[in-house]
Amino acid sequence: MNHDNKYSIAPPLENNVYAEFYQLRQNASTMTASTIEWFHNHLKMLLDEMRYQTRNNTLSVLSIGSGEGDIDIEIIQAILPHLNPQWTHLKYDALEPNSIHRKRFVERLREKSFDDHVSVSVHNTSFGISDGFESNESYDLILFVQVLYFFKDPSQIIQRALAQTKPTGRVIIVHQSALGIPEIQRKHMLSLKGNENGILTTEDIKKRLDQESGCLYRFYDVDAYLDVTECFNQSEVGLNILSFCMGCDLRKIHQKKLTPLLQSMINYAEIKDEGSVLYEPIGIFIINKNTTFSYVIKITEDNDPVDDYRQLAQRFDWQQVFSSLYNGHLQKTPTTIRLLDVACGTGRWIQAFLYYVEPQISQLGKGEMVYDLLDNSESALLQAVEKIRSPLKFGTQYISPIQTIKLENDFYDVIWSMHGFYAIPHHDLTLVIEKLLASLNDKGSAFIAQATHRSFDVRFYDKYLEVFQEGKGKRFVSAEDITNALETLGIEYQVHVISYYEQIQKDDIAAVAHYLLKEATTNAFSEEYSSGTADVPRVTQLEDLFAHKETENYLKSFIKDSSYYFPEEIWVISFGKKSLL
């Protein structure tokens, strides 16, 4: 082609080729498949989080920049099995201003046969502009899947979305990380198209959320790869993929301007016999509408310094558990419920149960609730026994590690362990779970509440070991470790997610010290608080944590305004020979 017809600066992509190039870029990447997989794996837990906080029978979703609807239809299909019992209808609004994308979305919908309780609308409009989408409706979920690039002020758009989210709702952002194509964009986009518009990464979004909007959020890293073989071959398809990645029509510039771009891709890509791939992970944000509200109350008598057991007592449907026990599963007269508290510690869960759960279940049935305790610490057990009061009746106490205790088979109606598995050696998890399962009666259930890898407690203890113990020492057992053990044993289970932020005034030194030294770095290893058997060295002064630059900066990253906000994600994992739920 005559170079005189070429541009020194590539023009923007025209509408008639944008959708075509988008499709080529999508087909060459695992990004869409990884996004769909994430939604299928996480939507149930997210909906479980929300269902106990709302009384509306319609789940409403707004998808902003839905494209051709391939991801949206998968999201709808992932939602449908988990609507009941809270929601009876799904209302799904999608916004897509590109006529080609919108047409393909509508065609996909015609190929699907959703029931009457599902309503999907595809709107020819945008979000956040003067003549764009207008609705007085608030949504349970608002989705931004790879679309924040197109907004001049992403922070403002996120805030507008939060304003249109229900008090119990979430905003979910799926976006590209700073690795891969963005690295190449920063090197070449300015010279190729004359500006750097469209460069936005998860790091940029994090910075804006942290510094400008003050939002608190959960973040997930998700792997993805782009096949760049055709780009290296300099085929028509490869050039079109590059054009979409750079946000301009590279077919219309001189070849010599493409050479540095291709060289950069070679430098970043992994060259294999079967082709070449570029690592381009994505990040997924879940932003709560009320990010600092923990949805729990604290009565005057409750002197527990942190929220964890209050969260467990008030944000799980214990009434349903005990209703099933009284009404359907126990045929004995008078009714006697046998409970075992594993790793009971000093009885903080007993206290929270009596304060917040017992008043809700007191009218369900009459009879005894015999409460057995198991803990490795005799001093902790003595404190726990003192907290037992009516309607609980003290039964048997076991001063022993769970690994070595002999429990009666087919005996208990309920076995629970609330934040008690952190110090169990990882290799003992399957043994312990099998022992609990054997001790349940045929209609009993076990409940294990444990922090996930995303929780501050687990992450901070990992950081503590890295900084102060040179990475040595046994890390906390996480909720994921427990579900992995259940899957290894072939045991079906359910997960209820409780997410919240532990808020502590940064000037309240005593409270900060208690949380970091007694909760986050001690927890299950402390004789006072739990039942661990490991002798783990630990710092004993708050000054030690802040004297080390790495832990100081890490802790400061959780400060918003005048408080620490430590993110906690707790899974209540339930299983049994025949589930109560």
Render pLDDT for 19-76 as a digit per residue (tens, 0 to 9). Answer: 899 899 999 999 999 999 999 999 988 888 787 667 789 999 999 999 999 999 999 9
Which residue did the predictor score with more confidence, 502 or 436?
Answer: 436
% the chain with pLDDT above 90: 51
Rg (CA), the chain: 27
Residues found in the chain: 581
CB–CB of 364/327 below 8 Å? yes
**Looking at the predicted structure, is the pLDDT value of residue 540 above 80?**
no
CB–CB of 487/550 below 8 Å? no
**Looking at the predicted structure, is the pLDDT value of residue 115 above 80?**
yes
pLDDT of the residue at 236 = 95
Mean pLDDT, residues 408-431: 94
The Cα 346–Cα 309 span in angstroms is: 12
Q: Which of 516, 573, 574, 522 is nearest to 546 (CA)?
A: 516
| Beta pairing, strands 275-279 & 225-227 | antiparallel
Kind and range of the H or E element at 198? none
Mean pLDDT, residues 495-512: 87
pLDDT band at 334 (very low <50, low <70, confident <90, very high): low
Mean pLDDT, residues 322-326: 82
Q: Please state which of the ranges 42-56, 96-110, 370-384, 525-539 shows the lowest mean pLDDT.
A: 525-539
* Both tokens assigned to 38: 């994430």
- C-alpha to C-alpha distances, 445 to 303, 363, 414, 573, nearest whole angstrom: 30, 21, 5, 10
pLDDT band at 3 (very low <50, low <70, confident <90, very high): very low
Q: Which of 36, 114, 116 is nearest to 72 (CA)?
A: 36
Kindly tell me the sign of the dihedral angle through the C-alpha atoms of 146, 150, 153, 157. Answer: negative
**Looking at the predicted structure, is the pLDDT value of residue 538 above 60?**
no
Packing angle, helices 70-79 and 31-51, rounded to 10: 30
pLDDT of the residue at 208 = 82
Mean pLDDT, residues 210-236: 84
pLDDT band at 130 (very low <50, low <70, confident <90, very high): low
Mean pLDDT, residues 393-419: 95
pLDDT of the residue at 53 = 64
pLDDT of the residue at 52 = 63
The tens digit of pLDDT for each residue in 172-220 reads 999 999 999 999 999 999 999 888 887 899 999 988 887 655 567 888 9
pLDDT of the residue at 402 = 92
**Looking at the predicted structure, is the pLDDT value of residue 580 above 60?**
no
The Cα 330–Cα 320 span in angstroms is: 14
Nearest-5° angle of CA 368, CA 374, CA 378? 120
488 contact partners, CB below 8 Å, separation of at least 6:
430
The Cα 570–Cα 581 span in angstroms is: 18
**How remote is the C-alpha of 52 from its chain's centroid?**
17
The tens digit of pLDDT for each residue in 336-351 reads 899 999 999 999 999 9
**Which residues face 143 on adjacent strands?**
63, 172
Q: How many CB atoms lie within 10 A of CB 110?
A: 7
**Looking at the predicted structure, is the pLDDT value of residue 297 above 50?**
yes
Mean pLDDT, residues 84-96: 92
Q: What is the mean pLDDT of the chain?
A: 86
Q: Please state which of the ranges 84-88, 275-279, 360-364, 564-568 shows the lowest mean pLDDT.
A: 360-364
Kind and range of the H or E element at 17? helix 15-27
Q: Which of 464, 475, 473 is nearest to 548 (CA)?
A: 464
Torsion of CA 563, 480, 428, 566, to 10 degrees: 0
CB–CB of 358/401 below 8 Å? no
pLDDT band at 253 (very low <50, low <70, confident <90, very high): confident
Phi, psi of 481 (to 5 degrees): -60, -40
- C-alpha to C-alpha distances, 541 to 321, 390, 460, 463, 529, nearest whole angstrom: 42, 39, 16, 16, 18
The tens digit of pLDDT for each residue in 131-154 reads 567 677 889 999 999 999 888 888
Q: Return the beta strands (E) in 177-265 as ranges.
A: 217-222, 225-227
Domains by residue range for the chain, with CATH: 3-288 (3.40.50.150), 308-575 (3.40.50.150)
- C-alpha to C-alpha distances, 391 to 127, 192, 365, nearest whole angstrom: 55, 74, 11
The string over 407-442, giving b where at least 16 C-beta atoms fall within 10 Å of a residue's C-beta and e elsewhere, is beeeebbbbbbbbbbbbbeeebbeebbebbbebbbe
93 contact partners, CB below 8 Å, separation of at least 6:
60, 61, 62, 63, 121, 123, 135, 139
- As a three-state string, the secondary structure of 68-122 is CCHHHHHHHHHHHHHCCCCCCEEEEEEECCCHHHHHHHHHHHHHCCCCCCEEEEE
Mean pLDDT, residues 411-436: 94
* Both tokens assigned to 530: 């739990």
pLDDT band at 548 (very low <50, low <70, confident <90, very high): confident
**Looking at the predicted structure, is the pLDDT value of residue 496 above 90?**
no
The string over 313-350, giving b where at least 16 C-beta atoms fall within 10 Å of a residue's C-beta and e elsewhere, is bbbbebeebbbbbbeebbeeeebebbbbbbbbbbbbbb
pLDDT of the residue at 211 = 64
**Which residues face 450 on adjacent strands?**
571
The Cα 83–Cα 60 span in angstroms is: 11
The tens digit of pLDDT for each residue in 517-533 reads 877 765 433 333 334 43
**Looking at the predicted structure, is the pLDDT value of residue 332 above 70?**
no
Mean pLDDT, residues 411-429: 93
